[in-house]
Amino acid sequence: LPAMTNNLTTTNRHSHLPARNSAVLKRKAVVIGEAVASDDADRIFPDQDFAQQAHVPDFGKYLEMYTWSIEDPAGFWSEMADGFYWKKKWGQQVNSENLDITKGNIKIEWFKGGITNICYNCLDRNIESGNGEKIAIHWEGNDRGVDDSLTYNQLLDRVCQLANYLKENGVKKGDSVIIYLPMLMELPISMLACARIGAVHSVVFAGFSAESLEQRIIDCKPKIVITCNAVKRGTKVINLKDIVDSALSESSQNGVHVGLCLTYANEPAMKREDTKWQKQRDVWWQDVVPKCSTKCDVEWVDAEDPLFLLYTSGSTGKPKGVLHTTGGYMVYTAATFKYAFDYKPSDIYWCTADCGWITGHSYVAYGPLLNGATVLVYEGVPNYPDPGRCWDIVDKYKVTIFYTAPTLVRSLMRDGNEYVTRYSRKSLRVLGSVGEPINPSAWRWFYNVVGDSRCPISDTWWQTETGGFMITPLPGAWPQKPGSATFPFFGVQPAIVDEKGKEMEGECSGYLCVKTSWPGAFRTLFGDHERYETTYFSAFPGYYFSGDGCSRDKDGYYWLTGRVDDVINVSGHRIGTAEVESALVSHPKCAEAAVVGVEHEVKGQCIYAFVTPVEGVEYSEDLKKSLVLSVRTNIGAFAAPDKIHWAPGLPKTRSGKIMRRILRKIASRQLDELGDTSTLADPNVVDQLIALADS
C-alpha cells in the first residue's frame, strides 16, 4: 500500500458539495458522534486468517489483477466471462470502440455477437455442475415461523412453468413485462422466467403508487403485468391489487391497454374472494402456472440484447428507464459479487434490499444465483416484530454474508445493543453496506456490535446505472477506513474532476466520474438515447458523470460525499426533487414548491418542501396533510416530505432561478451561513421564510 498515515478528519457523510455552479469544493471536517479520527485510529486491519482464505488475500494481488484489468480489459473480462455458458462465443472485439466514451455517439457494447442466456447460467448451468439439490432460495415470511425454500432444481421447474405460461400468452423475445410484486419467491421467479424467454422485465418496487406504476406502464407498454393481491408488511396489510387495478384502468384510458394481469394469491395476507377481480383480464397465478410444463427451452440471445429496464429518478421530471443488456451485466454482477463479498460455495447470503431496486436485481437475484449461491429472501420489514428480527434470521439460517443499508444500521443502533447481543451471529463473516455513504459511527457500530469486530465491511459504491459495484473493499485485501468505500473494482477507472472537468491527481475533492466503460454499464435510457448522452456524458466531456461528490485521501482511499445534483437520498432511495415538486404543484391549492434534502439522523436525508399556496388560501395543518398525501399518491409513501414550510415567496434570482443553496441553509437552520443574498430579486423573501420556519 502507499503511505499509510492518514491525517484526514473523518468525512461528514452529510456534507453537501456545493452545487455545480458554485466556486469552491471543500470537504467539511464535521464529525458525527465521535472524535476526529487520526493516524491508525481510523484504519482497521484485516484478520490474517480471513485474508489467507480470501480470493484476494492482499493488496499486491489486487494491484496485479487491477493492473491487468486496466491494461487489457478485453483479456481480463474474457477470462471472467469464460466461466459461463455461451452458445456461441463473442466476436473478435470484446468491447466497443476501445472503450472510448468521448465520442458524440455513445454506443457501449460488451461481448457483442456472443450468444447466451442469463437464466440458463443462473440455473441450468449450476444444476449441470452438480448443484441441483443445493438450496437456491430460503424464503422467510413477514411473520415468524412462516418460511419456505427452493433448491436449484425446484427453482428451475418454477421458472420454466412461468416462462411457458408467458409464452403461451404471447410474450416474445424483446417484449416487456412489468412485475409489481413484494419480496415473495415469485419475484425472482418472474424475473428469471422473463430472462429465460428473452423478455425484458421491468420490476416496479411495490411501494410505488398507482400513478407511478401507470407512468411506467405507459412508458414501456408491457404485454402483461405480474402482481399479487396483497402483502403483509409488519402488522399492515397492503392491497396491491387495488393499486394495479387503478394503474391499469388509467393507462388504458391513456391508450396503453394491458390485457392480462397475472395475480399471485398471497393468501396469508388476503383471501382470493376478498380480492377485486376483472374476469376478462385477471388470472390467478395458482390456477394457471402450476399446470404448465416444467421444461422450457431457452431463448438464446445476443449479449447486447436487453435484459431489463429499471426506472430511477434523475434531477429532472420524469423517471428514467435505465436499460441493461445481457452479457456484460451477467459477467459483471457475478464477478463483483464473488470478489466484493469473498463469496464461497458454503456461504449463506442475505441482502435486505427489495428486488424493486437495482440492489435486488444485481445482488439478490442475478449476482448470487450466477455464483450458485444460497440466497435468503425476506418478505417483511427488518424490525418486525422487534429490532432483533434480523439477527434472529441470521441465526436461523446461519447467514454468513449480510448486506444492508446504512439507514437500517442507524435505526438498529438507536434501538440498543441488547437486540443484537441476545443472538449469536457467529455464522457471520462478511458484512456489506450500500445506498448512501455510511457515517463512521454507524460503521463502527456495525463492525463492533453486529460483526463482533471480526467481519470486514464491504461499503459498496455503485448506482442503478452502473449495474454493479464500482468502488468497494475486497474483504481481507487491505485495511478499511470507516466511511470509505476504499478502492475501485477491477476494470473501473474513477476520476475526480473539478468544476471545469479537469481530472485531479492525488488528494483531492470534486465530482466523481468514470473514465472508460465497464461491462455492467447501462447502455441507454429507454426510448431516449439523447437524454442518456446529455445527462451522463456531456457534463464532463470524456467521462461518465455519476452525480456524486467524492474525495480521495492521501492514501488513495475514496470517500463518497453524496449527490451533487437535485437528487435526494432518503434511506438509500433515490428521489428527484423535481418529481416531488411536480407532485406538490399538482395539488390544486399549491402555486409553487421547492424541495431540498436535509440531514436526518436515521434516513440520512429527509425531504423538506417549501410550498407557496395559491392566492387567498390559508395556511393550515390540514392543507399540509393533503399536500403530503398528494406526494404519496403521485409517487409513493417513501417519498412523502417530512416537513412542509410555508413560503409566501421563494428566493429567486432576477432571472427567476430558485436559489436552492439558500433554501438548504434555511431548511437545516444554518441561518448564519446564508451567504450572499444580494443577487436575489427580492431579498425580503428570506426574512419571511425564516419567520415562518416553525409555523
The smaller minimum CB distance to ligand WT7, of residues 216 and 563, is found at 563
- Does the footprint of ligand WT7 cover residue 314 (CB under 6 A)? no
Does residue 371 bind ligand WT7 (CB under 6 A)?
no
Q: Three-class SS of residue 496? A: strand
Question: CB 485 → ligand WT7: shortest distance, Å?
Answer: 5
Is the dihedral angle over the CA atoms 322, 327, 331, 337 positive or is it negative? positive
Beta strands in 327-372, from DSSP E residues, in sequence order: 348-351
Residue the block writes with cell 485474508: 51
Asked if 609 and 597 touch (Cβ cutoff 8 Å), the reply is no
Rounded Cα gap, residues 592 and 510, in angstroms: 32
C-alpha–C-alpha distance, residues 21 and 38, integer Å: 33
Strands (E), 344-471: 348-351, 374-378, 401-404, 430-433, 457-459
547: contact with ligand WT7 by CB under 6 A:
yes
Dihedral class, residue 416 (left if φ above 0, else alpha if ψ from -120 to 50, else beta)? left
| Smallest separation, CB 602 to ligand WT7 (Å) | 16
* 459 contacts ligand WT7 (rule: CB under 6 A): yes
Q: Which of 460, 480, 486, 517 binds ligand WT7 (CB under 6 A)?
A: 460
Distance between CA atoms of 86 and 540, rounded to whole angstroms?
A: 36
Q: What angle do CA 538, 335, 344 make, to 5 degrees?
A: 150
Smaller CB separation from ligand WT7, 14 or 660: 14
For ligand WT7, the binding residue among 359, 480, 517, 551 (CB under 6 A) is 359
- Quickly count: other Cβ atoms within 10 Å of residue 549's Cβ: 24
Distance CA 90, CA 181 (A): 35
> Could you tell me which stretch among 185-193, 287-295, 555-563, 599-607 binds ligand WT7 (CB under 6 A)?
555-563
DSSP label of 21:
T
Site for ligand WT7 contains 557 (CB under 6 A): no
The interface with ligand WT7 within residues 145-204 (CB under 6 A) comprises none
CB environment 277-287: b (16+ within 10 A), e (fewer)? eeeebbbebee
* Catalytic residue check, 302: no
**CB distance 276 to 246 below 8 Å:** no
- In the list 486, 546, 577, 612, the residue contacting ligand WT7 (rule: CB under 6 A) is 546
**Contact range with ligand WT7 by CB under 6 A, out of 265-273, 287-295, 540-548, 596-604:** 540-548
Which uninterrupted H or E stretch holds 358? helix 358-360
Residue 637 DSSP symbol:
G
Give the Cα-Cα-Cα angle 161, 167, 170 (nearest 5 degrees): 150
Asked if 545 interacts with ligand WT7 (CB under 6 A), we say no
462 binds ligand WT7 (CB under 6 A): yes
Which residue, 310 or 680, is less far from ligand WT7 as judged by CB?
Answer: 310
b (16+ CB within 10 A) / e for 80-98: bbeebebeeebeeebbbbe
| Per-residue mark of binding to ligand WT7, 387-426 (x: CB under 6 A) | ----------------------------------------
Q: Name residue 463's amino acid.
A: Q
CA distances from 685 to 286, 632, 662 (A): 60, 29, 11
Shortest distance in whole angstroms from residue 687 CB to ligand WT7:
34
SS3 state of residue 226: strand
Tell me which stretch binds ligand WT7 (CB under 6 A): 132-140, 248-256, 569-577, 686-694.
569-577
Give the nearest distance from C-beta 435 to ligand WT7 in angstroms. Answer: 5
Q: Which of residues 608-667 bind ligand WT7 (CB under 6 A)?
A: none
Q: Which of 44, 434, 564, 627 binds ligand WT7 (CB under 6 A)?
A: 434
Is residue 558 at the binding interface for ligand WT7, with CB under 6 A as the rule?
no
User: Does residue 312 belong to the site contacting ligand WT7 (CB under 6 A)?
Assistant: yes
Judged by CB, which is closer to ligand WT7: 370, or 647? Answer: 370
Based on the shown chain and the rule CB under 6 A, indicate whether residue 333 belongs to the binding site for ligand WT7. Answer: no
Considering the complex, state which of residue 420 and residue 512 has its C-beta at the smaller distance from ligand WT7.
512
The residue count for binding ligand WT7 (CB under 6 A) is: 23
Give the C-alpha separation, 224 to 229, whole Å: 16
Helix (H, G, I), strand (E, B) or coil at 56: coil
Confirm or reject binding of residue 522 to ligand WT7 (CB under 6 A). no
* Binder among 78, 463, 633, 677 for ligand WT7 (CB under 6 A): 463
Catalytic hit among 219, 565, 566, 672: 565
**Sheet of 261-264, strands arranged across:** 282-284, 261-264, 224-228, 176-180, 200-203, 306-312, 320-325, 524-525
Which is nearer to ligand WT7, 93 or 463 (by Cβ)? 463
Closest to ligand WT7 by CB, 552 vs 587, is 552
Q: What beta strand segments (E) does 389-531 contain?
A: 401-404, 430-433, 457-459, 494-497, 508-514, 524-525
**Nearer to ligand WT7 among residue 372 and residue 562 (C-beta):** 562
Shortest distance (Å) from residue 605 CB to ligand WT7: 10
Calculate helix-pair angle for 660-667, 684-691, nearest 10 degrees. 20
User: Among residues 222, 208, 285, which one has the least CA distance to residue 251?
Assistant: 222
Residue whose CB is less far from ligand WT7, 461 or 489: 461
Alpha helices in 9-86 (DSSP H): 48-53, 59-71, 73-81
Rounded to the nearest whole angstrom, what is the least distance from the CB of residue 127 to ligand WT7 in the complex?
Answer: 30
Of the pair 84, 332, the CB lying nearest ligand WT7 is at: 332
CB of 548 to ligand WT7, least distance (A): 5
Among 263, 407, 411, 464, binds ligand WT7 (CB under 6 A): 464
Across the beta sheet with 457-459, the strand order is 147-151, 135-140, 374-378, 348-351, 401-404, 430-433, 457-459
**Residue number with CB closer to ligand WT7 (94 or 434):** 434
Binding mask 475-514 toward ligand WT7 (x if CB under 6 A, else -) reads ----------x-----------------------------
Q: Which of 563, 603, 660, 665 binds ligand WT7 (CB under 6 A)?
A: 563
By the rule CB under 6 A, 599 interacts with ligand WT7 = no
Whole-number minimum distance, CB 151 to ligand WT7, in Å? 29
What does 469-490 look like in DSSP terms, one character per residue?
A: -SB---TTTS-B-TT--BSBPT
Q: How far is the CB of 413 from ligand WT7 (least distance, A)?
A: 17
CB closer to ligand WT7, 438 vs 477? 438
Cell of 111: 461481448
Q: Which is nearer to ligand WT7, 364 or 662 (CB)?
A: 364
Going residue by residue from 14 to 53, which x/- string records binding to ligand WT7, judged by CB under 6 A? ----------------------------------------
CB 664, min distance to ligand WT7, A:
16
Is residue 474 within the footprint of ligand WT7 (CB under 6 A)? no
| Residues written for the chain | 695
Stretch that binds ligand WT7, among 177-185, 281-289, 344-352, 462-470 (CB under 6 A): 462-470
- Which residues contact ligand WT7 by CB under 6 A? 312, 358-359, 434-437, 459-464, 485, 546-548, 560, 562-563, 569, 572, 574
Residues designated catalytic: 565
